[in-house]
Structure 1
Amino acid sequence: MKIKMQDSVSFRMEFREFGKTGEKISKIGVGTYYDVGWMFLARFGRKSGSEMKIRAIRTAVENGVTLIDTAEVYGSEDLVARAIEGVDRESLFIATKVWITHLSYDSAIKACKRSLKRLNMKYIDLYQIHFPSPIGDIEGTLRAMEKLVDDGLIRYIGVSNFNLDQLKHAMEAMKKYEIVSNQVHYSLRHRDPETDMIPFAEKNGMAILAWYPLEHGDLVRDEAYPTAFLSDLRKRYPEMRASQIALSYLMEANSNVFPIPRASNPDHVLENINSVKYHLSEGEIKILKDSFRSL
């Protein structure tokens, strides 16, 4: 499939180290979770808007994004495969997740191999446990993931939606490798991770992937921000969009956070990844923290 690309944006992508892996990846990534209805229909081969979604992912990659997040349950791994056709695999950092029904030792290994087949690649950069095990058998899952590292099928092990106690338990269960990241709900309207998870991750050399960074569109409108703040900010950055404020905050207020806004529309992708060129001051970050602290 030939994809017609959007015009490139006029900025240079910025990169930061992913925890203590030594890997430098784009400060912002893209996610490929669409919605529950889409996921359900995808199980039956009905993937509406696939061409647009592929084009959106491709647009991100063509403009410097190296981090792409997906999951077996999303039904979008094959879209990622199509979007990155012809791209140097080693230049990308592909993350996917194993679902809660596949957390036993054997099931996790089989699930990873199925993901590799859908992604059409030989290895996954970051393999994540999508949610904590409902039966508490984290040890078996992590043994499987360490085996996958040994076999060269994955490079790093991560978790997703783990609270601090669950993360610490998982860390203690590791035998040979380390957990390099946790993926959590984090945005200006949902700042709970700043209380404990982000400081703990930073102290322990872990990366944080932030899902729902734009709160389903709640943070893409000027009305979400203080009027005086917007007026002063746009004296420095006249063209800065509301969505870019939300994404810039996550990157500028933290050294270990990688927002992964959804990639479903090429124009929105360009707007989102353009946020890396805006750098909020300490004063602006404080105003945002004060403005959203009770939300």
Structure 2
Amino acid sequence: MPRFNIDKEDRKPLGNSGEYINAIGIGTWNIYNYRNAEEALSSAVEMGINVFETAGMYADGLAEELIGRLVSKVGRDGIFIVIKILSYNLTNEESAIKAVQISLKRLRTSYVDLLLVHGIHELLSISHQIRILEMLAERGYTRYIGVSNFRLKELKEAIESTRKYRIVVNQVTYNILNKKIEKDLLPFAIKNSILIQACSPLGKGSVIKHPLLIKIADVYNKTPAQIALNFIISRPYVMAITKTEQKSHVMEIKDAMGWRLDERDIELLESL
């Protein structure tokens, strides 16, 4: 039996908010060709992929500007925007508001759907950072709040620090060659209805080169990347954030959904 129940849905619950989003979203970290990326993202929206993740620190704002151009092209209502704010910008309300307003200007929108604190600040308490996030939500800058790269202890503290809003997402590294979160973080997230956003689901290319993945891909007539992504989204309360700047890869991402690996192959991948 697989370690976790197989989630066969291609829409993932956003915490316990009652809202569901795509099982696979597209990130904008480390893009090389922004013109190609803009075409790819527009194509993604046409194919029904509408979750996009970005941050002000990605290429000094160029990635956010990319999403802003997408907003102008396809409209704001049709896409779900996730951004991350550096924890040092959460020192005080003024600093946080300024940082978010700069991002919103680049994004050509008045709000984002999900705002994540980017990593742990060694000098700022987690409770302070969460209070600042909640302030930003109360002022209408974001609909939901979450965290990234929080370990179990830190996630628990973040949850305990909330007052009006709930932590709906924790973005962490997760792929078939890096399953550290399966020990305690993922079981906790499932139990507490917190969506895991798996970044680096392809391991920066290392995952898709694995012989077992290639072998399984041949059986399903899929690409190794599709097998890797499908494994990730087969987990309850887990979605994947992957990068593409090629229109041809958008269809590959889309076709990673709509089916599931069988139990035997999931177990084989769990053994890695």
Q: 2:147 aligns with which of 159, 171, 174?
A: 159
Q: Equivalent of 1:26, from 22, 28, 33?
A: 22
Task: Report the Cα offset of residue 222 of structure 1.
Answer: 6.1
Query: Do the aligned residues in 1 keep the contact of 2:172 with 2:198 (CA within 8 Å)?
Result: yes
How far the C-alpha of 1:226 sits from its partner, in A, is: 6.9
CA distance in 1, matches of 2:250, 2:199: 15
- Kindly indicate whether the alpha-carbon contact (under 8 Å) linking 1:108 and 1:141 is maintained by their aligned counterparts in 2: no
Preserved CA contact (<8 Å) 1:95 1:125: yes
> How large is the RMSD of aligned CA atoms in angstroms?
1.8
Q: Distance in 2 between matches of 1:140 and 1:110?
A: 17
Equivalent AA in structure 2 for residue 215 of structure 1: G
**Greater strand share, 1 or 2?**
2
TM-score w.r.t. the length of structure 1 is 0.83
- Matching of residue 84 in structure 1 with residue 84 in structure 2: no
Cα deviation, residue 108, structure 1: 1.6
Distance 2:204 2:134 in 1: 35
Deviation at residue 67 of structure 1 after TM alignment:
1.0
- The correspondence for 1:188, drawn from 158, 176, 179, is 176
Alignment match, 2:253: 272
**More displaced, 270-279 or 199-208?**
270-279
Q: How does 1:51-62 map to 2 (within 5 A)?
A: 51-62=35-46
Structure 1: runs of 5+ lacking an equivalent: 1-12, 36-47
1:33-52 CA-partner distances (Å, limit 9, x unpaired): 117xxxxxxxxxxxx52101
SS in 1 for 2:120: coil
Higher relative CO (Cα under 8 Å, sequence separation at least 6) belongs to: 2
Partner of 1:150: 138
Determine the structure 1 residue equivalent to 2:166. Answer: 178
Deviations 1:112-147 (Å, cap 9, x if unpaired)? Answer: 111111111011110000111121332332222211
Structure 2 counterpart of 1:119, one-letter code: L
Query: What TM-score, normalized to structure 2?
Result: 0.90
1:35-74 equivalence runs, <5 A: 49-74=33-58
Conserved? CA contact 2:27–2:241, under 8 Å: yes
Q: Does 1:247 find its partner at 2:233?
A: no
Contact 1:26 1:67 in 2 (8 A): yes
User: Are residues 1:138 and 2:126 paired?
Assistant: yes
Change in 2 beyond 3 A, CA 1:226/1:56: closer
The whole-number CA distance in structure 2 between the counterparts of 1:208 and 1:119 is 24
SS at match of 2:21: strand
Counterpart amino acid of 1:55? E
Q: How many Å apart are 1:217 and its aligned residue?
A: 1.1
Compare 56-65 and 153-162 and name the one that shifted more.
56-65
Runs of 4+ aligned structure 1 residues displaced above 4 Å come to none
Question: Which residue among 68, 78, 84 is the counterpart of 1:97?
Answer: 84
Query: Which of 215, 240, 243 is the matching residue for 2:203?
Result: 215
Verify the 8 A CA contact 1:53 1:265 in the aligned structure 2. yes
* 1:230 CA displacement: 4.8
Q: Is the 8 A contact 1:188 1:246 kept in 2?
A: yes
Q: Deviations over 1:243-264 (max 9, x none)?
A: 1000000011x12111011122
Look up the match of 1:256. 237
SS of the residue corresponding to residue 29 of structure 2 reads coil
Q: Is the 8 A contact 2:14 2:20 kept in 1?
A: yes
